[in-house]
Amino acid sequence: MRTLRMGRPTPEQLTLLQDTGAGFRLIRGAAGSGKTATALFRLRQLCGARRRRRRQMDSSEPTRVLVLTFNRTLQGYISQLVSDQVEQSEDLVLTVDTFAHWARSLVSRRNLLDDKDRRNQIASLVQQAGIPTQHLDYYVDEIEYVLGRFHPDHLASYLRATRSGRGRAPAVSQELRKKLLDKVVGPYTALKSERGKVDWNDVAVEAAAGVPNKQYEIVVVDEAQDLSANQIRAICAHLSNDHVTTFIMDAVQRIYPQSFAWVEVGIDMRPQMVHTLKRNYRNTRQIARLASSLIHGLPPDPDGAVPDPSECAADGPRPIVYIGNFSVQLGRMLDAMEPQLLNGDEVAIIHPRGGRWFGFTKSVLQERRISYCELTRNPVWPTGPEQFALSTIHSAKGLEFDHVLMPGLSKQLTLHGEEDGDGTLDNLRRLVAMGIGRARKTVMLGYKPGDRSAVFDFIDPTTYDAVEV
């Protein structure tokens, strides 16, 4: 699988490369606007500048550089790009890692509660608290949001805080917030300590506390919209006095229940520190129209951007939605890909669920003698000759492919509430739009008649061709 093809910086990227002063910077823009590419150009430039300064000062201390991503697949992808961009040598100590792995390396080893157990524990406490179970996932996310946003000593701030990025429904009254704190957060924290366990949020909180050496001079944080406030605090605790830290963010692509204001993490993000990229270098106008119609009308966020078809440089075929049994949807998609494979194109089959869900798809690929790689949570970017990749949509975040296939967008795979503004449904719309936004040339979606995911209720039907199969 290929990584980004990075040419020369464009004029809007050059502006960002000239802004080399110390402190924080925020790069924002829609999917495909070149945020990651720009951050990598910037990284190369900053590393070169700091290196020259060291030599002039005759310093033997190396420059410490930290590049963090949210998930392991993106780490593999970025590591490959960083090694192409930045010349490695003894005077540069470069760490490219996921936030979770990096933070864990900083804290004492303890019994870690994995995310699945954590969600199960929280879910059973939500049920015991007598909170309506049709919104169970939403309230489990709400607890994750609370734990990630506030320092454990300041959880009570939740009672009066503005809950940004959580959708309009179900409503979370002040009374319910108190119940969530008393009946879920409190008992969950007690349960962990009784069992001698910590969770990933505890790791972030500990990584932010009492840091003896503030070491990193150059920091890049990709996909920062999915980090919690506590995770950002942990990064900030490790910056040198003259650090240059670049956050890359698109709140529209936020797929985990995290949201905070910069001031909450101690950063005064003034307008001159924020750069917004406008062009879309990745998608065709047709793909951007499909993605933008799906997320049109979601609550706006200043750190997020809806793909703008007028900023795309290329036209391509209209996306197709296949309506039929899963095996027929997949078959039609694979048939359509055959001529594209001869051109050397790369194809991703992505889906909200991973693991066993891909079982049937794999057997079809094997029958057709199509070799594929699996990207989900893979920390090493596959550099082999496979032209097909299978991935959850989550793990495809930040990546790009020539063609994106998303069969099986059914009702039960994507459960959510029924009310207008439902937070879980909002997230699903963002997730699927982010998946669509991975494509450079074509997109195909699919569902079974009578089992159509609610995401299709939001897509403008003039943005795709529906094909019954």
Ligand X SMILES: Nc1ncnc2c1ncn2[C@@H]1O[C@H](COP(=O)(O)OP(=O)(O)OP(=O)(O)O)[C@@H](O)[C@H]1O
- How far is it, in rounded angstroms, from Cα 136 to Cα 290? 30
Ramachandran bin of 319, using left for φ above 0, alpha for ψ from -120 to 50, beta for the remaining angles: beta
Exactly one of 398, 407, 408, 417 binds Mg ion (CB under 5 A); which one?
Answer: 398
- How far is it, in rounded angstroms, from Cα 363 to Cα 358? 9
**Are residues 29 and 280 in contact, defined by beta-carbon separation less than 8 angstroms?**
no
Query: With binding defined as CB under 6 A, does residue 249 bind ligand X?
Result: no
**Are residues 352 and 428 in contact, defined by beta-carbon separation less than 8 angstroms?**
yes
Of 170 and 319, the one with the shorter C-beta distance to ligand X is: 319
- How far is it, in rounded angstroms, from Cα 147 to Cα 326? 39
Closest residue to ligand X in the complex (CB): 281
**What distances in angstroms separate CA 42 from CA 38, 244, 245, 376, 400, one per listed residue?**
6, 10, 11, 28, 20
Segment interacting with Mg ion, rule: CB under 5 A, options 179-187, 383-391, 392-400, 441-449: 392-400
Within 369-398, the residues that bind ligand X by CB under 6 A are 398
Closest residue to Mg ion in the complex (CB): 36
Query: With binding defined as CB under 6 A, does residue 76 bind ligand X?
Result: no
Of 4 and 146, the one with the shorter C-beta distance to ligand X is: 4
At residue 91's C-alpha, the angle toward residues 86 and 96, to 5°, is: 45
CB of 282 to ligand X, least distance (A): 4
Segment interacting with ligand X, rule: CB under 6 A, options 8-16, 42-50, 119-127, 292-300: 8-16
* Residue count, binding to ligand X (CB under 6 A): 23
- How far is it, in rounded angstroms, from Cα 379 to Cα 218? 22
Query: With binding defined as CB under 6 A, does residue 250 bind ligand X?
Result: yes
Segment interacting with ligand X, rule: CB under 6 A, options 28-36, 95-103, 135-143, 457-465: 28-36
Backbone angles phi, psi at 164, to 5 degrees: -85, 150
- How far is it, in rounded angstroms, from Cα 16 to Cα 7? 16
Of 208 and 436, the one with the shorter C-beta distance to ligand X is: 436
CB of 400 to Mg ion, least distance (A): 9
Question: Sign of dihedral through CA atoms 300, 425, 443, 223?
Answer: positive
Within 425-454, the residues that bind ligand X by CB under 6 A are 437
Within 396-415, the residues that bind ligand X by CB under 6 A are 398, 400
Exactly one of 28, 29, 118, 254 binds ligand X (CB under 6 A); which one?
Answer: 29
- How far is it, in rounded angstroms, from Cα 416 to Cα 422? 7
Query: With binding defined as CB under 6 A, does residue 307 bind ligand X?
Result: no
Helices (H), 107-199: 115-128, 136-149, 174-179, 186-194
**Are residues 317 and 286 in contact, defined by beta-carbon separation less than 8 angstroms?**
yes
* Cis peptide bond prior to 170, omega within 30° of 0: yes
Exactly one of 6, 112, 176, 261 binds ligand X (CB under 6 A); which one?
Answer: 6
Query: With binding defined as CB under 5 A, does residue 36 bind Mg ion?
Result: yes
Exactly one of 4, 68, 251, 298 binds ligand X (CB under 6 A); which one?
Answer: 4
Partner interacting with residue 275 (select from ligand X, Mg ion, none; CB below 5-8 Å by kind) = none
Segment interacting with ligand X, rule: CB under 6 A, options 25-33, 83-91, 143-151, 322-330: 25-33
Of 407 and 437, the one with the shorter C-beta distance to ligand X is: 437
Partner interacting with residue 10 (select from Mg ion, ligand X, none; CB below 5-8 Å by kind) = ligand X
* The residue to which tokens 């000062």 are assigned: 57
Query: With binding defined as CB under 5 A, does residue 69 bind Mg ion?
Result: no
DSSP class of residue 170 equals S
Within 263-282, the residues that bind ligand X by CB under 6 A are 281-282
Query: With binding defined as CB under 6 A, does residue 35 bind ligand X?
Result: yes
> Which pair of tokens denotes residue 62?
């190396």
Helical (H) or strand (E) element with 322: strand 320-323
Of 9 and 382, the one with the shorter C-beta distance to ligand X is: 9
> Which pair of tokens denotes residue 28?
């924002």
- How far is it, in rounded angstroms, from Cα 279 to Cα 29? 8
CB of 37 to Mg ion, least distance (A): 8
Q: Which residues bind ligand X (CB under 6 A)?
A: 4-10, 13, 29, 31-37, 250, 253, 281-282, 398, 400, 437
Q: Which residues bind Mg ion (CB under 5 A)?
A: 35-36, 398
